[in-house]
Amino acid sequence: MAGFDVPIESAEEMVSHIDGPMKDSILKLYRSALTVGKEWEPGLANVTAPALVFWGVLDPAVPIAFGEKLGPALRASQVVKLDCNHWTILERPSEVAAALEGHWIQPND
């Protein structure tokens, strides 16, 4: 978790929940893509549920530009850009919760 701003206690907690089937499915998912995400993008047009995207602007693994493209591809109500790294929910729980609550109470078009 080095470089991802995850406190050691949180990293240890996350790792404790990873079992064999989870590890296998994650590895298969990432190994299935030559360019992670590119192969999945066309399917985003099929998403019909109201969407919200939140992204860490300091994410070293997946830059904010990906999140900025993902929002319109999902017809998301907004892309919430958070001043954090890859683990937005861990790093900015209050801001993510507020964004989700705001998203959930909006009337659907």
The pLDDT value recorded for residue 20 is 94
What is the pTM for the complete model shown?
A: 0.77
**Model confidence pLDDT, tens digit, residues 8-40:** 888 899 889 999 999 999 888 878 877 766 777
Burial classification of residue 44, based on how many CB atoms lie within 10 Å of its CB (0-12 exposed, 13-18 middle, 19 or more buried): middle
Sign of CA dihedral 51, 87, 43, 17: negative
**How wide is the angle at C-alpha 44 spanned by C-alphas 92 and 1, nearest 5°?**
35
**How wide is the angle at C-alpha 45 spanned by C-alphas 96 and 28, nearest 5°?**
75
* Separation between Cα atoms, residue 44 and residue 55, nearest integer Å: 17
The 8-class DSSP code of residue 47 comes to -
